[in-house]
Amino acid sequence: MEQHAEYSPVLFEETAARAQPLRLAPPPPRPPSLPARAVWADVCAGSLRVAAIRYEPREALLVLRPHIADPGAAVTERRLRVLSLVLDGVSECAVAIELQIAASTVSQEVKQALLCLQLEPRLSALPLPIAQLYHAAAVDGSLEVRAGSGTDGASLTVVFPRPEVDLACLAPAEHRICELILIGKTHAQIAALRGRSARTIANQLASIFSKLHVSGRLELVCLLAGRPIRPC
């Protein structure tokens, strides 16, 4: 006579539980984002002002604060065109030829555009997050943002990853100088911070640019903002 195992409610519940499909944990929520083109347009129009730039070990933070836009203080269309070409790595002479203006006019227009953006009027001091913002806008990318970082909750913080750059080809002193360049330090400030002469810093900078295959500070910053430098 065939025998059947005695029914057990506990055994039945355990068996049913094992038969249930696995429930995967929901993916973590994505950080809020904004279109880079819209943010860059607001910065150029003056409705967003650069309030602060901070550098963390793994990210750079661009703090923007809403501002009542003054049409007279916005970056004009021509200045924005000139600045965009320069940030794309086009030489001032080539920009002058393309736009049919004098080379000295190119330099002046770039200076005025930077002043409108509340930045130092020197391309050599261009902060990396500003270049990153421009390049993200140029490719119609999106920006990770954190809202309400100010005391009044009105500011907007744009988060940029620090470039994953392999600087193994640089000497330790050159590596440190490269970091100072990326946060906008001038040659004189680098010399003072490093306790070296201006000539020594100039020689080290020339070595850095040669090893990384860039023509100067602006190209280095723009290259890092656009894409990582591959190992030498």
In the chain, the number of structural domains is 1
Q: Is residue 189 part of a domain?
A: yes
- The predicted-structure confidence for 107-138, as pLDDT tens digits, reads as follows 999 999 999 998 888 877 788 888 889 888 88
Residue 232, domain extent: 164-232
Residue 186 resides in a domain: yes
Q: Residue 181: give its domain's CATH number.
A: 1.10.10.10
pTM across the whole model: 0.64
Collapsing DSSP to helix, strand or coil, 38 comes out as: helix
Q: Is residue 169 part of a domain?
A: yes
3-state SS, 83-136, equals HHHHHCCCCHHHHHHHHCCCHHHHHHHHHHHHHHCCCCCCHHHCCHHHHHHHHH
231 in any annotated domain: yes
Task: Assess if residue 137 is contained within a domain.
Answer: no
Does residue 171 lie in a domain region? yes
174 occurs within a structural domain: yes
Tell me the average pLDDT of the chain: 78
- The predicted-structure confidence for 178-225, as pLDDT tens digits, reads as follows 878 877 788 888 889 988 888 888 888 888 888 877 777 777 776 666
